[in-house]
Amino acid sequence: MSLRTPELLTTQVTSSQFVLFRDNEVEQQPSSEDVDSLSFWYEWIANAYSNVDELQFMNYGYADFDEHIDNDSNYCSKQLYKEVLAQVSLTNQTVLEVSCGRGAGAVWCVDNYVPDSYVGADLSSGVIDVCRQRHSMKPRLSFVVADATKYLPFANESLDIVICVEATHAYGGPIAVKQFASEVARVLRPNGYFLWCDLCHIDGSDTSIDYLTANGKLIVEEKINITRNVLHALDIQSNTRTQFIERYVRPREQEYFRLFAGLPGTPMYNGMDEGRIQYWRAIFRKKTTTDMSITRVRRLSFPSIPHY
């Protein structure tokens, strides 16, 4: 049976390479002007620690309030994907995941939801090289380099679903997020779904649901504040992440990693705990006409999904 794949257009995106290895240590340090760039840190860490299992997922995670044990370093990260996908089926759909990182979420989605095709896109050519090396034999899964804030290399109305997990806050501000949303709307088929989650500063300095709907082409089907669940996940994972930092990261880099990991006591964690930052997940649908009324997403029943 042939798979229905989205039409991939040719584009060229360049990305600098940051990392060399020796005994699990990073040989090239980020310069001082880069340390405040979230996008730089995502790419730098993803490249530098590409062989470390604990960093195959790079999101904060999600946990229900009755969950308290972290016996799998990736469990909460998988739960975040499960939460984002809870009401829309990927089965037999053409799917794009934007800012896919090293592809662990993409692999998990393909294994558990059986899409027709699944493409992971990321700005970093180095990260995409890692994805291709690790997952080249996975059926229905492929990877492409793309800057989602400028151009997604897919034909108009060629995708059923676009996914973006905890990435838009690093895109560089409202203008970039709005451009990204316009690209999402362009590549989605009519009535296609955009499944999103991210943290948002309440001052609107990075990303927001309003920015994602500013073009008038995406309508909100559902939005849920999951800040407390994300904080609970960070609490559950704090010991594991602290141990990872102490084991793998050189002392002079450890503070940056604590900030990046959202450990309790860091500005990101405190911002969510004190209400200055909120973590939302949302389902958007592409309009077919300008006067389409908003409807709720039909809840779908899924079989129990095993956790690995």
Q: Where are the domains of the chain?
A: 33-286
- Joined tokens for residue 63: 């946990």
pTM of the model: 0.81
Give the separation between CA 114 and CA 100, rounded to whole angstroms: 17
Cβ contacts of residue 280 below 8 Å, gap of 6+?
197, 198, 199, 200, 209, 223, 224, 225, 226, 227
Count helices and strands in the chain by DSSP H and E runs: 9, 9
Mean pLDDT over 15-26 rounds to 30
State how far the Cα of 106 lies from the Cα of 104, in Å rounded to an integer: 5
State mean pLDDT over 223-242: 95
Q: Taking the CA atoms of 243, 103, 146 and 95 in sequence, report the sign of the dihedral they define.
A: negative
Residue 302: predicted pLDDT:
34
Above 70 in pLDDT, residue 31?
Answer: no
Greatest CA span in the chain, whole angstroms?
A: 59
Taking the C-alpha atoms of residue 93 and residue 136, their distance in angstroms, rounded to an integer, is: 20
Q: How far apart are CA 230 and CA 261, in angstroms?
A: 12
Determine the topology of domain 33-286 in CATH: Rossmann fold (3.40.50)
CA distance 200 to 224: 13
3-class SS at 32? helix
> 209 is written with which tokens?
């649901």
Stretch 53-76: mean pLDDT: 82
What share of the chain has pLDDT > 90, as a percent?
A: 60
pLDDT tens digits along 98-117 = 999 989 999 999 999 999 99
The DSSP line for 197-247 is EEEEETT-SS--HHHHTTTSSEEEEEEEE-HHHHHHHHHHHHHHHHHHHHH
Any bridge partners for residue 25, and if so which? 22
How far is the C-alpha of 171 from the C-alpha of 200, rounded, in Å?
12
Q: CB 136: neighbour CB atoms within 10 A?
A: 10
Is 240 within 8 Å of 72 (Cβ atoms)?
no
241 neighbors 266 (Cβ within 8 angstroms):
no
- What is residue 45's three-state secondary structure? helix
**What confidence tier does 68 reach under pLDDT thresholds 50, 70, 90?**
confident
Neighbours of 198 (CB within 10 A): 26
What percentage of the chain exceeds 70 in pLDDT?
A: 74
